Amino acid sequence: MSESPPTDRPQFDWQQTMLRIKDPKITIPFYETHFGFRTIHTYHFEEWNFSLYFMAIFPEGMAYPEPNTKESEQLLWNLPRGVATLELTHNHGTETDESFVANNGNVEPYRGFGHIAVMTKDVYAASAELEANGVLFKKRPDEGRMKGLAFALDPDGYWIEIVRRDAECDIALPFTLAQTMIRVKDPEASLKFYRDILGMNLVRSSDMSDFSLYFLSHAPPDSVDRMVYEPVI
């Protein structure tokens, strides 16, 4: 884990995390209403029977165009560093298919993708407000062995981790998109892939009793103290 990263790594930015959804008429308002996401741009591929909805939480003061315009498409593929999107993929017809169940990545034998995470000033207050507004929870802040963080559930059963924002951070937004979690088999191999091939930096690691966390970002290591894009466990 201590091997120095190469100096000629490619320049990439983390652009999106894709979730496959049952009904955009339910899932899109959920993220807009409860977490402050905004739709940037939408693609409909009628010939292949699917649509893509790109959403993001924009930084305070950032101007953004009307969705589904030439300007919004330009923004989508030229996002400023620090802004990542949710790509919600809807296969046409699933909204009326009672057998459709999204694989959230947390049930054996398909445990791989874990969750997205958002940061907020007060996890307890935010969780209480979300629950009062009808959001379901997998874990409330004081449940389980890890206190002070929560896991909400979106309409398709994906987990949304809610974690506390750094106390010194002056961001006033109720929520900011912080990270995407995926499980890996071999951390040495995965870290090398994300670092050497995709140009990410290892920002922080934490060893627990039965698992380890590795946080990676495309931003320089010394500039990331509150926003982390990609933890791999």
Q: Which residues are catalytic?
A: 161
Calpha distance 181→195 (Å, rounded) = 16
Determine contact, residues 56/177, Cβ cutoff 8 Å.
yes
What is the distance between the alpha carbons of residues 214 and 84, in angstroms, rounded to a whole number? Answer: 19
Token pair belonging to 196 = 């050497």
Q: In this structure, what token pair is assigned to residue 167?
A: 């106390």
The residues, ordered by sequence, that sit 6+ positions from 232 with a Cβ below 8 Å of its Cβ are: 181, 182, 183, 184, 187, 190, 191, 194, 213, 214, 216
The pairing of beta strand 16-21 with beta strand 85-91: parallel
CA atoms of 211 and 214, how far apart (whole Å): 10
Beta strands in 48-199 (DSSP E): 50-56, 85-91, 113-120, 136-139, 150-153, 159-164, 176-182
Edge to edge, what strands does the sheet with 159-164 contain? 136-139, 150-153, 159-164, 113-120, 176-182, 230-232, 212-217, 201-207
What is residue 121's three-state secondary structure? coil
